Amino acid sequence: MNEKLDLGLKALNVNKIIVFFLITFIISCVTKRPDIVNKTYKLRKYKSKSGFTKIVINAYDNETLELIPANVEINDLFFKIKYENNKFIPLEIITNPNSQLNIEVSSIMRHTVNINSFIIKKSDSIIINTYLKKDNRPLH
């Protein structure tokens, strides 16, 4: 009788461990992503009324929050955030839907912002505001 009781208790402990790991796994898989917010960028997602799949990228100084000039690389294609008529023009790119994008935003004397393996879906309109920190390392 004691053997059956000991086996039952051992089985109960194993079941508790299995339940614990299942709950931990489920909780770790749940993510909430209305905005992807990082210390270096903020991403906002909208649905495009025109049906185009579009990305808009802005570059800001992370301390003053002023717009700054920047170079943008998207999947090995290079673009520039322009300065015209005393203001910066956000970079607007119409892209193929269901594309996986690697985005890099850089500027002289600033740390580069990387957004890797970003997927954009059909009719998404994405606004990415990047916040570039000053880099005080010498240029060599």
Q: Where are the alpha helices (DSSP H) in 1-140?
A: 2-29
> Nearest Cα to 131, choosing from 83, 63, 34?
63
- Which residues share a beta bridge with 41? 130
Instruction: Look up residue 24 and give its two tokens.
Output: 């931990």
pLDDT tens digits, one per residue of 23-39: 554 554 444 434 444 57
Contact (Cβ atoms closer than 8 angstroms) between residue 102 and residue 116 = yes
Look at the block and give the residue holding tokens 């059909």: 122
- Supply 3's token pair: 């053997």
Tokens in use for 4? Answer: 């059956």
pTM above 0.85, yes or no: no
Chain CA centroid to CA 84, Å: 28
- Write out pLDDT tens, residues 88-127: 899 999 988 888 999 999 998 899 999 988 888 888 899 9
58: β partners: 129
